[in-house]
Amino acid sequence: MRKLLWMGCVVTCVVGCGKTPTPPVAEQAAAVSPAMASATGGQRGGGLPYEVVGSEVWNVPDPASGRDYQVFVALPPSYAKEPQRRYPVLYVTDADYAFPVVRQIARRLNVEGPQVEEFILVGLSYALGDEGMASRRRDYTPTANGPDSAPADAVHGQGGAYAAYLRDQVIPYVAGHYRTDESRRLLLGHSYGGLLGAQILLTEPGMFSGYLLGSPSFWYDHNVMMRYEQAYAVAHGDLAATVYLYVGEYEQRKFGKDADMVVDAQRMGAALRGRHYPSLRLSLEVLDGEDHVSVAPRGFTHGLKQLLGIRPDPRGG
């Protein structure tokens, strides 16, 4: 027996075999894999985690709460080639799920010609060290009156504090590091994320110019968001925002659900339209054949077309 050195590792070979020793499988993969994932070079291999190509992750702590969060960033294809250009920026809650899904939907929409504008995508992570549900039920809800189904020690109702973190920390960080068009700052949220979006819309609407609110949990705390809507209307004569609201057809009691989210969304839409705000642009869709779990990718697709769709030139050409 003799021992040879292969890429810094000792490999045992039978003397007289007359062959170069074969390295371990992981080291073979490392020898031919790229140092980082790329669109042309593929993934790194060797058992390393899959990477979302072209993404960046930055830690943006919240000094008020002492919690650490991250933002995930994906830049549009033309970003490096057009250094003077500024882009709309879309923030998405529940980024572990929504960030890669929205990124790929946007890419696919433009495969056969541009349907949506290029934009900077920013994913909002859960608090580091927290379970996802614990983080979102705390950060995405407006009051402490959580549902009875939640664990006894669950914390709710810090949506206002989280919105302040977005306003004071995340938005300035992103605006300071990337060429964002701050007049076209958008927010996407689904379920509790949609509830948070509605809370921001009805308390600090200028934080974003557009809101994509998916299956928002308007049932929360006995439809407390309707009281937010009423309070906003008392104090304001306009609501300057573009809002796309979607919900799945099967999110109703007659399909065995605990709440009728279709009726709740329609009630909110009717209330907002009934105020006749001059600057509000509101669309509401009930997406057929979808439930709370299945509806998000389709709602994201429709919402991107609503908020960032490229309109045909009426002059043609």
Q: Which domains does the chain have, with CATH numbers?
A: 56-308 (3.40.50.1820)
Mean pLDDT of 166-178: 98
Burial bucket for residue 115 (CB in 10 Å: 0-12, 13-18, 19+): middle
Residue 186 is inside which H or E element, if any?
strand 180-190
Between 256 and 75, the higher pLDDT residue:
75
Per DSSP (E only), the strands in 20-63 are 55-59
As a whole number of angstroms, the distance between CA 116 and CA 212 comes to 15
As a whole number of angstroms, the distance between CA 162 and CA 114 comes to 35
Point out which residues pair with 12 in neighbouring strands.
3
Compute CA 160 distance to the chain's CA centroid, rounded to the nearest angstrom: 19
Q: Which of 225, 163, 201 is nearest to 279 (CA)?
A: 201
pLDDT digits (tens, 9 = 90+) for 96-128: 999 999 999 999 999 999 999 999 999 999 999
pLDDT digits (tens, 9 = 90+) for 211-267: 999 999 999 999 999 999 999 999 999 999 999 999 999 998 887 778 899 999 999
Q: How many of the other CB atoms lie within 10 Å of CB of 315? A: 5
Secondary structure of residue 282 in the 3-state scheme: strand
What lies within 8 Å, CB to CB, of 111 at 6+ separation is none
| Most confident segment among 44-58, 128-142, 301-315 | 128-142
Q: Which of 243, 244, 245, 247 is nearest to 287 (CA)?
A: 247
pLDDT band (50, 70, 90) for residue 32: low
Residue 2 is inside which H or E element, if any?
strand 2-6
**Mean pLDDT across the chain:** 90
Work out the angle between the directed axes of helices 192-201 and 220-235 (0-180°, nearest 10). Answer: 20
Secondary structure of residue 129 in the 3-state scheme: coil
Q: Which of 275, 286, 206 is nearest to 244 (CA)?
A: 286
pLDDT digits (tens, 9 = 90+) for 181-226: 999 999 999 999 999 999 999 999 999 999 999 999 999 999 999 9
pLDDT band (50, 70, 90) for residue 94: very high
The single residue listed with the structure tokens 């930055």 is 58
The phi and psi torsions of 218 (rounded to 5 degrees) equal -70, -15
Would the pLDDT of 311 be above 80? no
